[in-house]
Amino acid sequence: MTEVVSGTVDTPDEYSLKQNYPNPFNPTTTIEYTLPHAGYASLKVYNVLGEELATLVDGEQAAGTFSTEWDASVMPSGVFFYRLTAGEYIQTRKMVLMR
């Protein structure tokens, strides 16, 4: 369902979670994030009620820049949130699925 792809060899200086693209999307979107240190990372998708819909990343990862794709073809149109948790870093962003 999803694939995580390492994008660069350079180690980033800080954690970041970029805005998904395209946004709005139909039915797939790409999410990029950076990890300055190796360690556990989790990237999950939630609906507006806070219910977890998908786990895109869950496990140990090396430091670097990564991207993953979310296929929302079975989801209704609407607003969704995605959250990256890595170390002390937690960031949540909003995305819109339009049919």
Q: Is residue 42 part of a domain?
A: yes
Phi, psi of 28 (to 5 degrees): -120, 155
Q: Is residue 36 part of a domain?
A: yes
Q: Is residue 14 part of a domain?
A: yes
Percent of the chain exceeding pLDDT 70 equals 91
Would you say residue 1 has pLDDT above 80? no
Q: Is residue 93 part of a domain?
A: no
Closest C-alpha to 41, from 56, 64, 55, 60? 60
- Residue 27 belongs to a domain with what CATH number? 2.60.40
26 versus 12: the higher-pLDDT residue is 26
- Tell me how far apart the alpha carbons of residues 62 and 49 are, in angstroms, rounded to a whole number: 32
User: What is the pLDDT at residue 6?
Assistant: 56
Considering the entire predicted model, what is its pTM? 0.88
User: What is the pLDDT at residue 10?
Assistant: 73
Q: Is residue 99 part of a domain?
A: no
Task: Find the domain containing 14 and state its range.
Answer: 4-82
Q: Is residue 77 part of a domain?
A: yes
Q: Is residue 92 part of a domain?
A: no
Domain count, the chain: 1
Would you say residue 8 has pLDDT above 60? no
User: What is the pLDDT at residue 28?
Assistant: 98
- Reported as a single tens digit per residue, the pLDDT across 33-77 is 999 999 999 999 999 999 999 999 999 999 999 999 999 999 999
